[in-house]
Chain A
Amino acid sequence: DAGVIQSPRHEVTEMGQEVTLRCKPISGHDYLFWYRQTMMRGLELLIYFNNNVPIDDSGMPEDRFSAKMPNASFSTLKIQPSEPRDSAVYFCASRHSTGYNSPLHFGNGTRLTVT
Chain B
Amino acid sequence: GEDVEQSLFLSVREGDSSVINCTYTDSSSTYLYWYKQEPGAGLQLLTYIFSNMDMKQDQRLTVLLNKKDKHLSLRIADTQTGDSAIYFCAEDRGSTLGRLYFGRGTQLTVWP
- A-side interface residues toward B, CB under 8 Å? 4, 31, 33, 42-43, 45, 48, 50, 55-56, 91, 93, 95, 97-98, 101-109
Contacts and interface: CB of A to CB of B under 8 A. Distances in A.
What secondary structure prevails in chain B residues at the interface with A? strand
A104 B31 contact: no
Interface string B32-55: 010100001111110010100000
Nearest to A108: B42
A48 B99 contact: yes
Contacts of B50: 101
B42 to A, nearest CB: 4
Q: Which 10 A-B pairs have the closest CB atoms?
A: A106-B42, A42-B104, A106-B43, A31-B98, A103-B45, A108-B42, A43-B102, A109-B42, A107-B42, A55-B97
B33 A33 contact: no
B22 to A, nearest CB: 14
11 contacts: A42-B104, A43-B43, A45-B99, A48-B98, A98-B94, A98-B98, A103-B33, A104-B33, A104-B43, A106-B44, A108-B41
A109 B40 CA distance: 8
Contacts of A105: 45
A98 B102 contact: no
B10 interface: no
Contacts of B43: 43, 91, 93, 104, 106
B42 A91 contact: yes
Contacts of A106: 35, 42-44
A41 to B, nearest CB: 9
Given A98-B92, A106-B35, 19 more contacts: A42-B102, A43-B43, A43-B88, A43-B105, A50-B97, A55-B98, A56-B97, A101-B50, A103-B33, A103-B45, A103-B48, A104-B35, A104-B43, A104-B45, A104-B90, A104-B100, A105-B45, A106-B44, A109-B41
